[in-house]
Amino acid sequence: MSKPNPMRMREMVVVREVSRILIPFILLFALYVQFHGDFGPGGGFQAGVIFAAGLVLYGLIHGLDALQRAVPPRLIEVLAAGGVMLYGGVGLVTIALGGQFLEYKVLDPHHGEHWGLLLIEGGVGITVTASMTAIFYAFAGRDTVQNQEKR
Write out the residues near another protein by the rule CB under 8 A. Answer: 40-41, 45, 77-78, 80-82, 84-85, 88-89, 91-92, 95, 99-105, 135, 138-139, 142, 146
Question: What do you get for the CA distance between the two ends of the chain, in Å?
Answer: 15
* Contacts of residue 77, Cβ cutoff 8 Å, sequence gap at least 6: 130, 134
- In the complex, minimum distance from the CB of residue 126 to another protein, in angstroms, rounded to a whole number: 11
- In the complex, minimum distance from the CB of residue 62 to another protein, in angstroms, rounded to a whole number: 23
What is the C-alpha separation between 114 and 25, in angstroms, rounded?
A: 26
Neighbours of 74 (CB within 10 A): 9
Of 10 and 73, nearer to another protein (C-beta) is: 73
Sequence letter at residue 125: G
Of 19 and 122, nearer to another protein (C-beta) is: 122
Of 27 and 90, nearer to another protein (C-beta) is: 90
Cα–Cα–Cα angle for 33, 90, 111, rounded to 5 degrees: 65
- In the complex, minimum distance from the CB of residue 11 to another protein, in angstroms, rounded to a whole number: 28
Of 25 and 101, nearer to another protein (C-beta) is: 101
What is the C-alpha separation between 9 and 4, in angstroms, rounded?
A: 7
- In the complex, minimum distance from the CB of residue 55 to another protein, in angstroms, rounded to a whole number: 16
